[in-house]
Amino acid sequence: MPQLDSDQLEKIRHQFDTGPYPRTPVDKSPSGDPYLLYTHNLVTAYYLRYQQVVDTKGKLILDVGCGTGYTTLILAAANPGARVVGLDISPVSIDLAHQRAAYHGYSSTIAEFGQAVEFYALGIDELEQLGLSFDYINCDEVLYLLPDPQQALKIMRSLLRPQGLIRTNLHSYHQRMDFFQAQELFKFMGLQANSPQQREIEIVRETMAALSDRVVLKAQTWDQSYNQDEESILCNFLLVGDKGYTIPETVTMLEAAGLELFSMVDWRQWLLRDLFAEPDNLPIYLSFAFATMALTQQLEIYELLHPVHRLLDFWCGHQKETPDIIAVADWDLADWQQVTVYLHPQLLTQEVREEAIAQIHISKSFQISWHLPLTGEPYHLDPKITSCLLPLWDSSQRFTELCDRWQTLYSLDPVTLAPSSKEQAQVILIEALTELESLGYVLIVQERLVLKK
Amino acid sequence: MDLQQPDLLDKLRQQFNSTPYPRIGVAEPPNLNPLNLYVHNLVTPYYLRQQKVTDTRDKVILDAGCGSGYKALSLAIANPGAKIIGVDISEASVKVAQERLEHHGFKDAKFYAMSLEDLPQLGMQFDYINNDEVLYLIPDPAAGLQAMQSVLKPEGIIRTNLHSKRQRRMYTRAQQLCKLLGLMDGNPEDAEIEMLGGLMRSLKSTIDLNGVWRRKFETNPKETLANHLLVGDKNFTILDLFQLLQGANLEFVRMVDGWTWNLNDLFKTSENLPDSLKEFLSPLSVADQLHVFELLQPIHRLLDFWCGHPGQGNSFTPVAEWTVGQWNEAKIHLHPQLQTKDFRAEVSLSLSQSHPLEISRYLPTLSNSILDGSLVANIILPLGEAPRSLSELVQRSQQIYPYNLQTLEPVSPPEISQTIINALTTLESVGCVLLELPT
């Protein structure tokens, strides 16, 4: 098992023992944030890579650097029936994480339906002693702090089961440049010699107050909110060991650790076409270049043009495991005849179902984005489509079954009143499902891709 | 040596052979901008380093990377009586430079086509080397700097500059993008400029990299060749700069635009800083002050500086710390750049019409500075005639202004002396007067 530099880790442990992170109140529940649950749901990432739907029951999930356990709580809530293990080098943080999990009714004893939440005050390189391997590893806002993130990634990969997935993130070099410059200044001023605390926060504030407002570094990094908020000063101006990465650096590091990036977590905010005024009318050399580029090159171009994301937040997995997937938009009718449609599990609640039914009854469109905001824009389902998809709340449906249901519901063409054809039903449903799939609300699985267990 | 390096050098030679830079006709008038002449005047950095006024006559000055010789012409004008040598990698550029200097009457100037690394082959030593907008372009800046160091006289001074990494980060990103899109595989020309333009015009206007650059692009597309599409561009921080100097066995003298690197200017009131800041700032070395300035205010495209052989600078007492005894011994000069007919005419006019002298028009290191009539009459006017001692200036002042302008009491020589010392201290700090102590 590879080892991590213990000196550096000791500093980080001290930092988080004195100021456990995050300072989220113990009674705060993640249930009010469906997007957060969606991104922490193993089903989401697994589908993006394998075009398959997995059952979270019995899965083993690791939360590396769980701090006071809020992300662990999200993971437990997002993955019913999974056993979630939280890990942090700070014993003080782990104590708080225990309290949080208990408050929300989670126990370390594996319940009948498999659910369990447990915590260990251990470094990741000590995890071996538990003798566990994982289906999903979450490592949020941790990697960029470590002395050797590549080593940490290697360790995580060694704990990852075949087809297991890792969600982790790094600070963006390009987006965060001003803050790195500020950190360099305050480090030079000696404010990072020990774990920065009250005195150091005060010096940051005094320095910024003394600087004239037209000074570039102040204009780019400072605003009034920092005069109230201490945690943000620590995280942005005084973060010991903070480092920034570019996309190519990230790719290189993953490669060296035997891993492969397959999607950004917030991939909807990384689409090159969104940067252009008329994305379908680009200079030919550009549309050609973009069409032939690998995902990671597209991401690199995005960050060079528009570095607005603080985090490079991504999913990765073992190398050479990505199957040959055909995008749903490229399927032909024969492909569609062989598929099964699932609603994303995050939508499978009684509340969402009742709301859908209520809208069907009054013939109004159903604002699915209100229950699960994925794009930042409101998204409405036509009542006819909602009616047709209603069985998805009970179980997955074959595409052919949904077509039959459409024909039953709408047996007559609404204009000609002639009997509606199977072809019409297929065209309408293919269009609707393709869009819903691309947005992430439904998951569609091809028979030929069902994994041999 | 990197295998690609001769390649890059060839590219540069080709580029500048096809269009010698800058593209200014041989017969065009020289750049007489006072600031331009001030920084090209050897007297300026020599004084900053030695607290001595040097004579430019018979000094040997090299313009390393002279291009089409427009700056070599400035050097010739700013340094009367000096011998001008120029080298450039491009034969075509050197030819234009030679013609230019001859056309403007500098028949002694000599130009050679060679790379910086080959400088020792000239068999000459120089009092001053100007190396402007060159070092960040060449394959091996450290080797270039070392070559210049090897042909520098013991007390000689090099003026050179580097691109700033912090100020130019947008261009670095643009260059990475252009590389990814294959626009910098060869020597970028009109086709590549047009492809870059196509990209910029297609982007939404809110896109980070697009904002400012698009507008600039539309006004001067060719400028992208020196920025977005600059092949082999290298960028440096202040820390890199000092490391580079150390590697070349050179010592930092001063930033050429030193008056724009003043930390005090970055604070609302520099007198009333919190103790934590005062404690931090006061012991900082020159290098560290520049480092902090750069972190706070990365606005300089160029890190533009003078340097020389280590230990060759005079260790002298800064004027602000002089004793009365030192003041009494000092020889006071007006900077030679102010000893022009134009300036004398302006001084007389200001005195005869009793309006303030706008000295910043003649020496732009003083931003918006104006001098009141008594200072002009007491200091600037007599210094324009010849170097003076403090007692001469005091005497003269007592003759012109025998009474205190408020109380109408007779003024005492010590009182006048203090006023003049205060004024000279300020004028010296902005490079307007030069103060010499006897050796």
Mean pLDDT by 10 residues, chain A (453 residues): 65 79 88 94 96 95 96 96 95 95 89 84 88 96 90 96 97 97 96 86 96 96 92 91 95 98 95 94 93 95 95 96 86 95 96 96 95 91 96 97 95 88 94 96 82 42
In a domain, A21, yes or no: yes
CB–CB of A335/A446 below 8 Å? Answer: yes
Residue A178 and residue A390: Cα distance in Å, rounded? 50
In a domain, A53, yes or no: yes
Q: Is A205 on the interface with B (CB under 8 A)?
A: no
The answer to whether residues A199 and A131 belong to one domain is no
Give the model's pLDDT for residue A1. Answer: 44
In a domain, A375, yes or no: yes
The answer to whether residues A220 and A333 belong to one domain is no
The answer for residues whose C-beta is within 8 angstroms of residue A322's C-beta and 6 or more apart is A49, A260, A262
In a domain, A304, yes or no: no
Give the model's pLDDT for residue B11. Answer: 82
Give the model's pLDDT for residue B314. Answer: 84
Measure CB to CB from residue B296 to each of A185, A203, A278 and give the nearest one.
Answer: A185
Give the model's pLDDT for residue B235. Answer: 97
Distance, C-alpha A231 to centroid of its chain = 23
pLDDT in tens, B255-306: 999 989 999 999 998 888 999 999 999 999 999 999 999 999 999 999 999 9
Measure CB to CB from residue B176 to each of A182, A184, A304 and give the nearest one.
Answer: A304
In a domain, A241, yes or no: no
In a domain, A284, yes or no: no
The answer to whether residues A166 and A181 belong to one domain is no
The alpha carbon of residue B168 is apart from the nearest alpha carbon of chain A, in Å, by 12
Give the model's pLDDT for residue B370. Answer: 64
The number of domains in chain A is 3
Residue B79 and residue A313: Cα distance in Å, rounded? 59
Whole-model pTM: value is 0.90
The answer to whether residues A438 and A401 belong to one domain is yes
- φ/ψ of B243, rounded to 5, equals -65, -40
The answer to whether residues A165 and A223 belong to one domain is no
Measure CB to CB from residue B207 to each of A177, A207, A275 and give the nearest one.
Answer: A275
Q: What is the residue-wise DSSP string for A130-158?
A: G---EEEEEE-S-GGGSS-HHHHHHHHHH
In a domain, A273, yes or no: no
ipTM: 0.89
CATH of the domain at A133: 3.40.50.150
- The pair of structure tokens assigned to A82 is 């999974």
The answer to whether residues A26 and A146 belong to one domain is yes
Give the model's pLDDT for residue A398. Answer: 97
In a domain, A420, yes or no: yes
pLDDT in tens, B358-388: 777 788 776 556 677 777 778 888 999 999 9
Helix (H, G, I), strand (E, B) or coil at B296: helix
- The amino acid that residue A262 corresponds to is F
Q: Is A226 on the interface with B (CB under 8 A)?
A: no
Ranges of chain B with pLDDT below 70: 1-6, 211-213, 366-370
The answer to whether residues A28 and A155 belong to one domain is yes
Helix (H, G, I), strand (E, B) or coil at B355: coil
How many residues make up chain B in this entry?
439
The answer to whether residues A49 and A141 belong to one domain is yes
How many other CB atoms are found less than 10 A from the CB of residue A295?
15
The answer to whether residues A137 and A10 belong to one domain is yes
Looking up tokens 């261009």 gives B171
The answer to whether residues A107 and A164 belong to one domain is yes
Instruction: Name every chain A residue with its beta carbon within 8 A of the beta carbon of B181.
Output: 285-286, 289, 301
The answer to whether residues A109 and A147 belong to one domain is yes
Give the model's pLDDT for residue A453. Answer: 38
Say what percent of chain B tops pLDDT 90.
Answer: 66
Residue B152 and residue B144: Cα distance in Å, rounded? 13
CB–CB of A139/A147 below 8 Å? Answer: no
Q: Is A185 on the interface with B (CB under 8 A)?
A: yes
CB–CB of A123/A89 below 8 Å? Answer: yes
- The amino acid that residue B245 corresponds to is L
The answer to whether residues A189 and A257 belong to one domain is no
Give the model's pLDDT for residue A4. Answer: 62
Helix (H, G, I), strand (E, B) or coil at A82: coil
Does the CA dihedral B112-B113-B114-B116 come out positive or negative? Answer: positive
Give the model's pLDDT for residue B5. Answer: 58
Measure CB to CB from residue A210 to each of B169, B202, B268 and give the nearest one.
Answer: B268
Residue B405 and residue B423: Cα distance in Å, rounded? 17
Q: By residue range, what is the domain housing residue A431?
A: 328-449
Instruction: State the DSSP code for B275.
Output: H
Strands B60-64 and B83-88 come out as: parallel
Residue A374 and residue A51: Cα distance in Å, rounded? 18
Instruction: Give the torsion through C-alpha atoms of A104, A107, A108, A114, to 10 deg.
Output: -100
CB–CB of B101/B124 below 8 Å? Answer: no
Q: Which of B276, B289, B294 to mutate to test the interface with A (most CBs of A within 10 A)?
A: B276
Instruction: Name every chain B residue with its beta carbon within 8 A of the beta carbon of A286.
Output: 181, 198-199, 202
